[in-house]
Homo-oligomer: A and B are copies of this chain.
Amino acid sequence: MNKEIIGKQSIKFNNPPAILSSASIVGQMEGEGPLSSYFDQIEQDPTFGQDSWELGESEMVRRAVQTAITKSGLTKEDIRYIFGGDLLGQLIGTTFGVKDFDIPVFGLYGACSTCGESLSLAAMTVAAGYAKNVIAVTSSHYGSAEKQFRFPLEYGNQRPLSATWTVTGSGAFIVSATSKEQPMNQYPHITSITTGKIVDYGVRDSMNMGACMAPAAADVIFQALEDLECKPDDFDKIITGDLGKVGSEILIKLLKDNKIDISKQHMDCGVKIFDCEAQDTHSGGSGCGCSAVTLAGYILQNINSKKWHKILFVPTGALLSTVSYNEGQTIPGTAHAVVIEQI
């Protein structure tokens, strides 16, 4: 077998793809949070100039893709594939956002882990030589997600403190081929990936997504460290997607039970993106957009500035629909780990 395959669930790339550019488009609330200065665009209009939350989300996706292309200096003709997904039923956020780019599309769904899934498949595709440049894009929108999963905003329903706040944001990444001749050392690289299984601890509380996802995050982080023969100290940061405060505590405890202590390195995009007390977002931010815009803005800038050299990026997803939830099913979790580093 190819020597790139390592351990049970990981791939270590011989020619790690570079992240040539990234873009983050967010809503007003994210723009008022602590990461404000890292985003490419902060839009005050919650429907992004469109007629609905859903079309607003698609417009956000379109802008993210266009901004990533513009920042890279490429044109859309240089992009061979789009790997994209969002939280809405049948991926309408992505479909209507990318349809006019005239680029072949692979639609993906991994709930809020989709940013990790899209970067993984993008990196696999580029590293295998199937494309020179591809785009990975994910999004979520507070208004469309509340309507999809809980209640339309107009109902004014109350939310428990364990609930997270879906981030209105879309992050796009151009993932590009490198070679020994063209190393592109100035860009962050995706050096390995660990693909998650579906992990079901039997949690049924859709207002406590952190608890649903933490076991999956623990599982994939454990496996990544084992496959890559790494310790937590080998990373400047181990960054989960949207566990929030509640889920982060569970993650750290679960790993400690397995003799792994990530409490020094751990950061959660959902906790980072909002000032949870001042902005009243309870357990923190969530959604595919949460980890995507935090990576596109804050995280990659910290890697580009060499503050961080190597991170383990672990978007986390809760696999439910209103139908499965209302029919009494559990909420399984999944998570996909991506190592991003300066090489």
Given known A54-B323, A130-B2, A319-B95, contact A90–B109 (CB-CB < 8 A):
yes
Give the complex CA separation of A320 and B96 in angstroms. Answer: 10
Interface segment out of the listed A32-40, A194-202, A301-309: A194-202
Best-buried of A52, A55, A197, A198 by chain B (most CB within 10 Å): A198
Contacting A95 at CB < 8 Å: which of B51, B127, B332?
B332
CB distance from A145 to the nearest CB of B (A): 11
* Residues in B neighbouring A319, C-beta threshold 8 A: 90-92, 95
Q: Do A105 and B321 touch across chains, with their CB atoms under 8 A apart? A: no
Q: Is residue A204 within 8 Å, beta carbon to beta carbon, of the partner chain?
A: no
Q: B106 contacts A121, CB within 8 Å?
A: yes
Most chain B C-beta atoms within 10 Å of own C-beta, residue among A55, A90, A104, A147: A90
Please tell me how many copies of the chain the complex holds.
2
Contact for A332 among B89, B99, B108, CB less than 8 A? B99
- Given the complex of chains A and B, what is the CA–CA distance between A318 and B14 in angstroms? 38
Which candidate, A3-11, A67-75, A232-240, A253-261, is the interface stretch facing chain B? A3-11
Q: How far is the CA of A52 from the CA of B269 in the complex (A)?
A: 36
Additional 19 contacts, C-beta under 8 A, given A89-B89, A95-B332, A105-B197: A1-B129, A4-B129, A5-B80, A5-B131, A54-B327, A55-B329, A90-B109, A92-B320, A92-B323, A92-B329, A96-B329, A99-B198, A103-B197, A104-B197, A106-B120, A109-B109, A124-B124, A127-B128, A128-B129
